[in-house]
């Protein structure tokens, strides 16, 4: 039997549970899945899938200049005046769906 090394990783419990459910259906253990992932990193000489930021990134106050912030506030005020608003519930549902928060 080949020698093995241990890898310890912290993951969100829900992510681990969901991954285990999928892997169980595939008949693959978590250890084998991690081993497959690492082998693909070696073969492809990088992460074996595209890693990029989502296109719809919510604006963050810290990322805006004062001018950009003022423009965004003005857009919001115009939306309110033109009755283009959303309920708190629909915003929360969309944020959960799109960003997991």
Distance between CA atoms of residues 23 and 17, nearest Å: 10
Q: What is the tens place of the pLDDT at every residue in 71-101?
A: 999 999 999 999 999 899 999 998 888 888 8
DSSP-derived letter for residue 59 is P
Q: Are 77 and 69 in contact (CB under 8 A)?
A: no
Number of Cα atoms under 13 Å in the Cβ half of residue 42: 6
pLDDT at 53: 76
The conformational region for residue 83 under phi > 0 = left, psi -120 to 50 = alpha, else beta, is: left
Rg (C-alpha) for the chain, rounded Å, is 22
Average pLDDT over residues 52-70: 82
User: Domains in the chain, start-ordered, CATH in brackets?
Assistant: 1-52 (1.10.1220.10), 61-99 (no CATH)
Q: What is the tens place of the pLDDT at every residue in 2-55?
A: 788 999 999 999 999 999 999 999 999 999 999 999 999 999 999 999 888 777
pLDDT at 1: 61
Global pTM exceeds 0.85: no
């Amino acid at each position: 039997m080949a020698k093995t090394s241990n890898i310890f990783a912290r993951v969100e419990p829900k992510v681990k549970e969901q991954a285990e459910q999928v892997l169980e259906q595939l008949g693959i253990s978590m250890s084998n899945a991690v081993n497959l992932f690492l082998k693909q990193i070696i073969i492809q000489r990088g992460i074996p899938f595209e890693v990029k930021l989502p296109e719809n990134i919510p604006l963050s106050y810290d990322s805006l200049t004062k001018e950009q912030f003022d423009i965004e506030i003005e857009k919001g005020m115009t939306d309110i005046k033109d009755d283009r608003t959303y309920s708190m519930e629909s915003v929360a549902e969309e944020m959960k769906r799109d960003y997991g928060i």
